[in-house]
Structure 1
Amino acid sequence: MHIPSRTVNPADLVLEHCRVDGTDRGVRALQHYGSTKSTSHLEVGLFVLLPHAAPHAVHTHPEEELLIVAHGRGEVECQGVRREVGPGSVTYVASLVPHGIRNTGEQELTFHWVKWLG
């Protein structure tokens, strides 16, 4: 069964706290998860990252990914290159490329991620 065509509004989200090594990193929610007619896997989510936090260490995965910053300031590392990001920044990450995002500001950083596999 494929993900149905639908709109997910913020009020529809079930936020879960994200803790890594006993440290609170923020909250996250999945907006869409599953397969579609043209992908074997699609994942769309929202993360509200606490100041000076990262959701996890730099990592890789087989899916391609977009990181879309909606609010706040941070830094993305992609293939060993670090770039400052803010509202409107979009990072494309190819399959198996090391990457990560972290909040460098004093306010929360909100970003969306979209991951897919053909």
Structure 2
Amino acid sequence: MLSVIGRKYKEHFPEILSRASERVELVFGLELKEVDCSRNIYALLNKFTLGVEEGSSDEEELPKSGLLMALLGIIFMKGNRATEEEVWDFLSVLGIYAGRKHSIFGEPRKLITKDLVQKGVPQLPPGAQ
């Protein structure tokens, strides 16, 4: 991240990181945790889940949660509204296409319209609205 910010803003990095992590937590429900302070290693932790159903594991839900975060991100970036075309254009950049089976997600249109939309979006953490 420091290489992206550049030398000009290097002294402001702690404040930039703090503000960015607050927004990532509010918007996406991901908490930034420092793993190793000596090597500046951080991890993003999901603060909410899709609601693991009986017979499925957290490992099965994690990719779906990641896809959901990406979808919510594109919707947020488009002013809280995104057309179906904008969503599929975005997903195509990730190698995910409607009607084409994906190795992780299966048929993405079904996953999005049935599993994610009809299941309902999980509640945001308190204070995130």
Larger Rg: 2
Is the TM value for this pair above 0.5?
A: no
Instruction: Specify which structure has the bigger relative contact order, considering alpha-carbon pairs within 8 angstroms and separated by 6 or more residues.
Output: 1
- The TM-score bracket by the shorter chain reads under 0.3
More strand by share: 1
TM-score, scaled to structure 1: 0.25
More helix by share: 2
